Amino acid sequence: MAQSDEVRFMRRAFVLAERGLNNTASNPRVGCVLVKDNEIVGEGFHEAYGSEHAEVVALRNARGKAKGSMMYVTLEPCCFKGKTQACTHEIINAGVKVVVAACKDPNPKVFGKGFEELKKNGITVRIIDMEKDCFELNPGFFKRMKSDLPWVRVKVAMSLDGYIALGSGESKWITGKIAREDGHRWRARSCCLLTGSRTVVNDDPEFTARVSGEDVLQPEKVIIDPRLIVSKKAKIFASGKVILATLLKNDKLIKEKVMDYRQKGVHVIELKPKSSQSTQFYFKHLLGALSKRGFNEILVEGGPSLVSSLMTENLVDEFLIYKSSKILGAGVSFVQLNTAKDALTNERQWVFKSVNRVGEDVFMSLRKKNNSFYGLANV
């Protein structure tokens, strides 16, 4: 088969995979195409956590035609029984002849074992190296598998002169409608939204993902609230699952409050203070706990203190910046750091990944200059 055809089939598998964008976590987004005589005979993608994997959907759709076919799949097929039967088992049983994958599954439970299993059963296995595409579709899954931490995006809406709010704290509406709608798409694909107690107290946001025309699986909501100051009447509790991250304290009153939240269905994560005197915890511990819950991608929408803490601990992977044409003249910045004298001359830590216009505003995404969450060995 010509190289260009192989890439075309794999691209189709990626297009399918993307349909699961908002629903597959904690699993990755995966797409699959079955080809016979250079024609697609079955397609599938992983629709949602707990449902059939992409490979199995494609096999089912191919009906009798799976036997002797070639499978194009965006990620190495799994080889262990989880919520569903192992994909390798199904592929072998269906009589697939060749499996072409875009990359190895970074999940240590698989990581090449899926390919081994297929080979042992007489199936030819080949990699088209499109790991980068698979990573781009699943940055959170890759990062979590490699480091037990989720992929952290910080969303910022700023004025032309760089402010996220007026001095009064007011921030509605820096950006236009189209930019705000775009922001909701980032919410929808995230496992959780992370914010600070001050944002909840001051702005009382609903913190839901609203994407017009789509019934979106709502991300969970995480509130950083070390002193438990958030009112249970806040709108953020009105729907969906809420997680409160607070400071672990052997204080009777606090224990009661925590108990009370738990009884109301709020998941409380108690984190030990940085030191015995400290009133702060390490965000790395919180993110570790969220990773254990299977959270791949986290969207941070908060004030400068939250963002600065995450940056200080070097935990931010991506900035999503909506830049407005409005000039405020004075206000609050998205981050406050002790400026290093060499901040200007230092090598850049961040690089622009994309720059686009969204309605009246400009959208810019930035990534860390060196990220090492993909780049796995080939088969």
Q: Which positions touch a second copy (CB under 8 A)?
A: 158-163, 166-167, 170-174, 308, 311, 319, 321, 323, 325-331, 333-341, 343-346, 348-352, 355-357, 360-362, 364, 366
Which of these is catalytic: 39, 43, 47, 55? 55
The torsion angles phi and psi of 104, rounded to 5 degrees, stand at: -65, 145
Where residue 294 falls (left for φ over 0; alpha for ψ -120 to 50; beta otherwise) is left
Contacts 24+ apart (CB under 8 A), 274-282: 279/226, 279/227, 279/247, 280/226, 280/247, 280/309, 281/226, 281/245, 281/247, 281/248, 282/313
What is the bridge-based pairing of β-strands 124-127 and 31-36?
Answer: unpaired
Tokens matching residue 21: 């964008």
Pick the closer one to a second copy by CB: 220 or 361.
Answer: 361
- 3-state SS, 232-293, equals CCCHHHCCCCEEEEEECCCCHHHHHHHHHHHHCCCEEEEECECCCCCCCECHHHHHHHHHHC
H or E element that contains 177: helix 177-189
Pick the closer one to a second copy by CB: 343 or 377.
Answer: 343
| Smallest distance, a second copy to C-beta of residue 200, A | 20
Pick the closer one to a second copy by CB: 165 or 266.
Answer: 165
Q: What is the largest CA-CA distance in the chain?
A: 71
Task: Please name the amino acid found at residue 246.
Answer: T
| Smallest distance, a second copy to C-beta of residue 338, A | 7
Pick the closer one to a second copy by CB: 96 or 366.
Answer: 366
SS3 for 351?
A: strand
Cβ atoms of 316 and 290 within 8 Å: the answer is: no
Pick the closer one to a second copy by CB: 18 or 360.
Answer: 360
| Smallest distance, a second copy to C-beta of residue 260, A | 37
| Smallest distance, a second copy to C-beta of residue 202, A | 15
* 43 given a catalytic annotation: no
| Smallest distance, a second copy to C-beta of residue 196, A | 18
Q: Which residues are catalytic?
A: 55
